[in-house]
Structure 1
Amino acid sequence: MSQTTLGPHESIEIHELLNFKTICLTKSKLLQGIVFDRDLKALMQKDVEQSVESIKQLQELYQRFPLQ
């Protein structure tokens, strides 16, 4: 069976993931300004890049599958 829409629970789960990744992105971006260790700063930058990619993928799910 091919699914063309998201159920309410699926939509809520995607929304929760989007919120979590947005918070991760915000926190990493803000803390980069006060961190002086290069290795930690590099890890935080990697987290920023991964969070941006995750947010894009989750947003694509909303565009591909409309809500019921």
Structure 2
Amino acid sequence: MVKYLGLHETLDLHELITFKNLCLTKSTTMGALVQDPELKTILTNDAAAGQQHIQQLQQLLTNREAQ
């Protein structure tokens, strides 16, 4: 079994990380501006989930390159 990522797979992961970073930035920025407590909670939860997703994608990228 091949233990490394192909070039297209690496580029796809980089694109996903970039997109998730953009979403995280937007959720965090809008969360600071919103006044509705329910919407603020939704944006806070989205930001937390986004951070976790970014960490998982980065881990996948670094673990596969190291092997």
The question of a shared fold, defined as TM-score above 0.5 by the shorter chain, is answered with: yes
Identity %: 36
Q: In the TM superposition, what is the alpha-carbon distance from 1:3 to its structure 2 partner?
A: 2.5
Structure scoring higher RCO (CA < 8 A, sep ≥ 6) equals 1
Shift of 1:43: 0.5
When normalised by structure 1's length, the TM-score is 0.91
Q: Unpaired segments of 5 or more residues in structure 1?
A: none
Divergent runs of 4+, >6 A: none
Instruction: State TM-score, norm by structure 2.
Output: 0.92
The count of corresponding residues between Structure 1 and Structure 2 is 66
**Displacement of 1:24 after TM fit?**
0.6
Instruction: Tell me the residue number matched to 1:9.
Output: 8
Unaligned runs of 5+ in 2: none
